[in-house]
Amino acid sequence: MSEADEESTADWRYAHTDTLDGALQRGRGEGVLMAMRDPAAAPAAVYACIRRDHRWYWAFDDRPDYLARLVRDLDLDPAPIGDQLRHAPDDLRQDRDNFFELATEVLAALGRGGDRRSVAILRAYLTDGPHWLDVLRAVDEWPVELWADLDQLCLSRLSEAEEYELSWACPRMTAHWAPQHPRLAAAARRLAERVPARPAALPTGHSTDELIMMATDPQVTRVDQRRALRALLRAGVPDPDLIDLIEGGLHPSLLGTALRDPGAAVVERARTWTIDRGAELFWHGSLLLAGHSTAVDLPRLLDAWQWRWDSDDWCGFDRLADGFTRLGPAAAAALPALMRTWRWTPHSIERAAMLRAMLSVDPVGAERVLTPALLDCEPDVRELAASRVAPRPRAVTLLARLRDDPLETAEVRAAAAGRTTPA
């Protein structure tokens, strides 16, 4: 997420989730419905979400296709989005709001969906824009006919140092143009001939005790700790002994790597870690219980959920939600916490796990979110909603839109097609 804002870096906060701005910032389906009901206010809100990337994590949370659909469905002019590309800093590492990459991805999605204005904007940028290779990478996903004639332009701008970058960043273009251009053919060969980095070798010649010391020594690098842990796993060290290592100094982040099939004794040890929220292993014990608990652990999982809610880091709800999904109706008491976080979290990639959990613990109670979920920014959420939503009139209309939407993923279109009658 961006650390800066044109208004106030220190005081910036997400808008309330039940407002148009707040729902769009979080990529919620409700935001799309609000925008369609208020076409006068929607344009400013959509453009604002493109000028500043509101994702919790740019690399994981989805927004470009969601915003592109809003631009398309509201019939907004893509020119202001193109203007963002021309105002990017020389060094994109200084683009603290990620507005260049997000604008590029939104325009690329619009172009992929057939918007000729967006295609023209990006093609024009390729002629003289300073970050043209970043734009070209997005254009590589378009149908070939939209970029097949750009080879001479690209070669005229391409430096020798950039040849290799083009070959891995734009594989479709490189493969298409290489037969006619020896420079690109040579770059493609260099990429194909590149020897992949070999994984770090496992320690050899060490006793189990030596490997344990290596895995738990805080002075040893995390990479070497993992290497030692892999060697211990290959040696067949049982899970209870691995728990001893965790409590003896093995970094807790390695817990998921280490434990293969925790038995009752291991789970009981994890329960002791969740007694005190301030304990070093509280969160790691909670995650272990989420994967291997029984209904008796529901209060512990709910306590961990509340602890995460109260923190400044809203990551990890998905793994706890998976625990509720495992427990099914026995975890019905989790529905309010799931619903609340579903509404408020901007970390949209975790919403699919929350929706699965809601449908597992209380299918009837979860029905209220399924129709808006068809318009969520995350494709996994839309796919799940398409497969489970009740065929009421508004849902059927939205399913038909998903089925026929050129911006939609193949998986979501297939799920929607299975619930609708072809036009």
**CB of 371 within 8 A of CB of 365?**
no
Would you state the pLDDT for residue 115?
97
Q: What is the mean pLDDT of the chain?
A: 89
Poorest-confidence range of 260-264, 287-291, 387-391? 260-264
pLDDT for res 248: 67
- Residue 143 has what DSSP assignment? -
- Answer yes or no: are the C-beta atoms of 304 and 275 closer than 8 Å: no
Write the pLDDT tens digit of every residue in 265-275.
Answer: 778 888 998 99
Amino acid at 111: G
- The model carries a pTM of 0.88
pLDDT band at residue 11 using 50, 70 and 90 as cut-offs: low
Inter-CA distances, 121 with 78, 113, 128, 154, 238, Å:
8, 14, 12, 16, 59
Residue 316 and residue 211: Cα distance in Å, rounded? 30
